[in-house]
């Protein structure tokens, strides 16, 4: 895997995550928050984000797949890991690494709403609105990007690149 260029530096990431944490803290003041991390990509972002949120937080994990070993989504969503706990009556924040077509998150949102949470919002680190195939807009977004395939800060290409402290475009 060869990188073309860094588009978000480590310092820019730290600043934006702190801003998102402050915004989420303000929005959930006086309430407990149940954070659902979408594995594997969002684990790095979620870990940094929850340390910036100043309300009580519970976490759980889900794993979904629509990519396989490709750089393009297949459109078929598979649930690989479900939650360990019930979410009925809880204020849910789904934390995702990147929203692309929106198909995976749209499927997930429907799946979670059936479980009757008190509220459900989506926080993504990166958003590619130009690729959207469904009507879905994240409630919190670290940054919008063009239609590049990127790695770093939890995002990968064939399980490589997640450890990079910045976000970079993968060379075609």
Residue 84 a catalytic site member = no
| Among 97, 100, 127, 156, the one annotated catalytic | 100
Among all chains, which residue has been given the structure tokens 């990147």? Answer: 98
- Enter the tokens of residue 15: 């600043």
- Are residues 66 and 37 in contact, defined by beta-carbon separation less than 8 angstroms? no
Contact present, 46 and 68 (Cβ < 8 Å):
no
- Find all residues with CB under 8 Å of 159, minimum gap 6, and list them: none
In terms of C-beta density within 10 A (0-12 exposed, 13-18 middle, 19 or more buried), how is residue 24 classed?
buried
Catalytic residues: 100
């Amino acid at each position: 895997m060869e990188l073309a260029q860094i588009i978000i530096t480590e310092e820019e990431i730290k600043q934006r995550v702190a801003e998102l944490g402050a915004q989420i803290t303000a929005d959930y003041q006086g309430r407990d928050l149940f954070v659902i991390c979408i594995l594997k990509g969002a684990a790095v972002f979620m870990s940094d984000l929850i340390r910036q949120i100043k309300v009580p937080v519970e976490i759980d994990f889900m794993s979904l797949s629509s990519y396989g070993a490709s750089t393009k989504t297949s459109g078929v969503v598979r649930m690989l890991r479900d939650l360990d706990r019930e979410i009925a009556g809880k204020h849910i924040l789904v934390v995702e690494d990147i929203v692309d077509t929106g198909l995976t998150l749209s499927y997930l949102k429907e799946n979670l709403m059936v479980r009757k949470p008190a509220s459900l919002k989506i926080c993504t680190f990166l958003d590619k609105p130009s690729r959207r195939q469904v009507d879905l807009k994240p409630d919190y977004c670290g940054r919008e990007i063009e239609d590049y395939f990127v790695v770093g800060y939890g995002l990968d290409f064939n399980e490589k690149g997640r450890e990079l402290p910045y976000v970079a475009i993968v060379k075609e």
